[in-house]
Homo-oligomer: A and B are copies of this chain.
Amino acid sequence: MSYRAPVKDMLFVMKELADIESIAALPGFEDASLDTAQAVLEEAARFNGEVVAPLNFEGDKNPSFWKNGEVTTTPGFKEAFRQFGEGGWQGVLHPLEYDGQGLPKLIATPCIEMLNAANLSFALCPLLTDGAIEALLTAGTEEQKQLYVPKLISGEWTGTMNLTEPQAGSDLALVRTRAEPQGDGSFKVFGTKIFITYGEHDMAKNIVHLVLARTPGAPDGVKGISLFLVPKFLTDKDGTLGARNDVHCVSIEHKLGIKASPTAVLQFGDRGGAIGHLIGEENRGLEYMFIMMNAARFAVGLQGVAVSERAYQKAAAFAKDRVQSRPVDGSAKQPVSIIHHPDVRRMLLSMRALTEASRALAYVAAAHCDFAHHHPDEAARASHQAIYEFLVPIVKGWSTELSIDVASLGVQVHGGMGFIEETGAAQYYRDARILTIYEGTTAIQANDLIGRKTVRDGGATAQAIFAQIDQTIAQMAERDGQAFKSMHRHLSAGTLALARVVEFMVAKVKSDPNAVFAGSVPYLKLAGIVLGGWQMARALLVATKKRSEDEAFYGAKIATAQFFAEHILSQAPGIEASIVSGNGQEGYLALSEDQF
């Protein structure tokens, strides 16, 4: 059940692919050297490995439970969360002035990956709190920031996001919760919110709910939604806790996975009205929510990387230990450990290649975010921001979709033992299944990728990325060996396929939106494969150059990159075919409801 953070792999990506040394040269990040990063990662690895990871299986066996409106979390969670807060882990990327550490997102990112690999259920509380902090920093008054953010960073209080209602899953236009002004600047909030992660729990003294609601007379649809802060306990201006607010947890869900994370139904205002405070301006709630959602979506992408890594570690350990059957090449007369069987290797390399590629893409995206905020040049900031925003739906959608496959392969490597809950591999398969759904389903990520990120600028951001990929392809053309040969072939083909798909999207989005959006998720997956493959190609170039320094490490990187090219990038042209051909009005899009 153990987890050992892959610090060496993470530092490789940060240094060689995400260029941490350039980030450390940005104004405000003078302390963010590779040495600092290494020290932070090693301490995070220790804390998550020793304190958080052992509670993961426990949380699955003894989930958080509800009784009389209160939620008791898994034994050990409360104490671990205390240590998490005291260690400063909630504040890694938040500003120094609110008691954060002010480090780059690129350094926070591996810390978040580790926390999630150690314990997906536990990590959700900090993940949602991060979102609340982001929203307050963006739209809160200085007074609100001073009151709430330091307490959220210290772990005394935690935060939630309240979007979904029973009739409104992904469609926020349908939100009905209402907020009535009280004349004193405060509001009374009434409504029901569902699927609220850590909406109620016993790990902190107070819970700060950020709630989407409508004020009287607000416009219909998404343009009439405002953002409110509704604390579980009312507070005075210095944060002293007062009366219990009228927000109550009426039940929690019985879920497929992440069972230790309480998913609450919250009732606002059943006893006279829940006191709430407007955050930012009225009717701009969706805009603020998108800011916290972008951060949360990126973090959920990391959850995909994290559960993939954990599943890989478990499967690799089992494959080294389990002795079954003689080798197919006749090289031994006795049964060998199953890691020697070619198909087990294929499964392990599939898991590892996908994990490494999705990690590299996420970390590179984090670096773009840092450049976007700290680069001295405005045009450079804008260009990094555009690339970051292009990458967020891919990191969220692709990393999570593949994490389901990776966790499933992890079960398969275990054979019959994988299906037995005591083994633990099945938990990752169950836990991973939520990741493509919450914080926006894969289809919603894919629609974002098409609508806001690809066609709005006529494909310009995508083209800028392709130009960079072409440079990598050119560097590979001159190299020898099967790894370069395969990578050159499949990255070239994949990039051409992706470029043609972008052209198709831009050309057809107005004239045939159904055909374009029918290809949305395949487009997102294709983009993930090609951009992830590009990072593997960059890793291949570095690993080849440094191979003699550390044969075991760089040799494995080369083999993994080659595997990615031959087994994963090779799928790209097939995906292109599924997007651009025949999705029009004469095929399945024209079927009537009754034909399903």
Identify the A interface with B (CB < 8 A): 164, 168-171, 173-174, 194-195, 253-257, 316, 319-320, 322, 324-326, 328-330, 335, 337, 339, 341-346, 348-349, 352, 404, 408, 411-412, 415-422, 426, 429-430, 433-434, 436-438, 441-443, 446-447, 481-483, 485-486, 490, 513-515, 517-518, 520-522, 552, 555-556, 559-560, 562-563, 566-567, 570-575, 577-578, 581-584, 586-596
Contact A320 B593, CB 8 Å, known A256-B421, A437-B416, A582-B562: yes
10 cross-chain pairs, A with B, having the tightest CB-CB distances, nearest first: A342-B518, A570-B577, A343-B443, A256-B426, A571-B574, A556-B595, A559-B588, A342-B517, A171-B325, A567-B578
Q: Are A169 and B416 in contact, CB atoms less than 8 angstroms apart?
A: yes
Chain B's closest residue to A551 (CB) is B595
When the two chains form their complex, are residues A419 and B443 in contact, meaning their CB atoms are under 8 A apart? Answer: no
Question: Which listed residue (B169, B352, B483, B573) contacts A415, Cβ 8 A?
Answer: B169
CA gap between A283 and B491 in the complex, in Å: 54
CB contact under 8 A between A404 and B408, given known A345-B518, A570-B577, A578-B567 = yes
Cβ-defined contact, B446 with A419, below 8 A: no
Within the assembled complex, what's the spacing in Å between the Cα atoms of A412 and B434? 9
Residues of B within 8 Å of A442, CB to CB, are 412
Residues of B within 8 A of A438 (CB): 416
Q: Identify which of B319, B577, B596 contacts A490 (C-beta below 8 A).
A: B577
A566 in contact with B555 (CB, 8 Å): no
Q: Which B residues lie within 8 Å of A486 (CB)?
A: 581-582
What CA separation (Å) do A569 and B379 show in the bound complex? 45
Q: How far is the CA of A194 from the CA of B420 in the complex (A)?
A: 12
- The answer to whether B574 touches A560, judged by C-beta atoms less than 8 angstroms apart, is no
Distance between A101 CB and nearest chain B CB, rounded to angstroms: 34
Across the interface, A590 reaches (CB within 8 A) one of B337, B416, B422, B559, namely: B559
Bound-state CA distance A483–B335 (Å) is: 50
Residues on the B chain within 8 Å of A583, using CB:
342, 566
Please name 6 further chain A to chain B contacts, defined as beta carbons within 8 Å, in addition to the given A339-B596, A343-B517, sorted by A numbering. Answer: A169-B416, A349-B588, A411-B437, A559-B590, A562-B582, A572-B574
Asked if B596 contacts A320 (CB within 8 A), the reply is yes
Q: Closest Cβ of chain B: how far from A561's Cβ, in Å?
A: 10
Is the beta-carbon distance between A482 and B566 smaller than 8 angstroms?
no
Q: List 7 A-B contacts (CB under 8 A).
A: A339-B593, A349-B588, A416-B437, A418-B437, A556-B595, A559-B587, A559-B588
B419 and A437: CB pair below 8 A?
yes
Contact check, B441 vs A419: say whether CB atoms are below 8 A apart. Answer: no
Question: In the complex where A255-B421, A518-B345, A574-B573 touch, is A582 in contact with B566 (Cβ < 8 A)?
Answer: yes
Q: Is the CB of B429 within 8 A of A441?
A: no
Chain B residues, CB < 8 A from A319: 596
In the assembly, what is the distance between CA of A570 and CA of B581, in Å?
10
Closest B residue by C-beta to A339:
B593
Residue of B nearest to A563 (CB): B588
Q: Would you call B482 and A164 a contact (CB within 8 A)?
A: no
* Assembly CA distance A584 to B562 (angstroms): 12
> Which one, B324, B522, B574, contacts A574 given CB within 8 A?
B574
Residues of B within 8 A of A195 (CB): 416
**A171 and B345 in contact (CB under 8 A), knowing A559-B591, A566-B582?**
no
Between A348, A412, A442, the greatest number of chain B beta carbons within 10 A of the residue's beta carbon is seen for: A412
- Could you tell me if A328 and B513 are in contact, using CB atoms closer than 8 angstroms? yes
**Contact in complex: A346, B518 (CB < 8 Å):** yes
Which single residue of chain B is at the shortest CB-CB distance from A169?
B415
Most buried by B among A330, A481, A592: A592
B residues in contact with A593, CB < 8 Å: 320, 337, 339
Among A330, A404, A419, residue most surrounded by chain B Cβ atoms (within 10 Å): A419
What residue of chain B has the Cβ atom nearest to residue A595's Cβ? B556
Known: A256-B430, A343-B446, A572-B574. A335 touches B171 (CB 8 A): yes
Which residue of the partner chain B has the closest CB to A417?
A: B169
* Bound: A555/B343 CA distance, A: 41
Measured CA separation A324–B174 after assembly (Å): 8
Contacts A412-B442, A421-B256, A574-B570 given; does A520 touch B426 at CB 8 Å: no
Contact, CB under 8 Å: B420 / A437: no
Whether B595 contacts A552 by the Cβ 8 Å rule is: yes
**Complex Cα gap A362–B575 (Å):** 27
- Are A335 and B174 within 8 A (Cβ)? yes
Q: Which residues of B contact A556 (CB under 8 A)?
A: 591, 595-596
Residue numbers in B under 8 Å from A555 (CB-CB): 591, 595
Contact of B559 with A566 in the complex, beta carbons under 8 Å: no
Chain B nearest CB, measured from A577 CB (Å): 4
Q: How far is the CA of A344 from the CA of B171 in the complex (A)?
A: 15
Query: Are B587 and A482 touching (Cβ within 8 A)?
Result: yes
Chain B residues closer than 8 Å to A584, beta-carbon distance: 482
Which B residues touch A594, using CB under 8 A? 552
Given known A486-B582, A587-B559, contact A419–B404 (CB-CB < 8 A)? no
- A515 to chain B: which residues have CB within 8 Å? 342
- Of all chain B residues, the one with the shortest Cβ separation from A344 is B443
Distance of A546 from chain B, by nearest CB (Å)? 16
Contact call A520/B343, Cβ cutoff below 8 A: yes
Q: Which residues of B contact A434 (CB under 8 A)?
A: 419
Known contacts A418-B437, A486-B582, A588-B559, A348 near B596 by CB under 8 Å: yes
What residue of chain B has the Cβ atom nearest to residue A353's Cβ?
B588
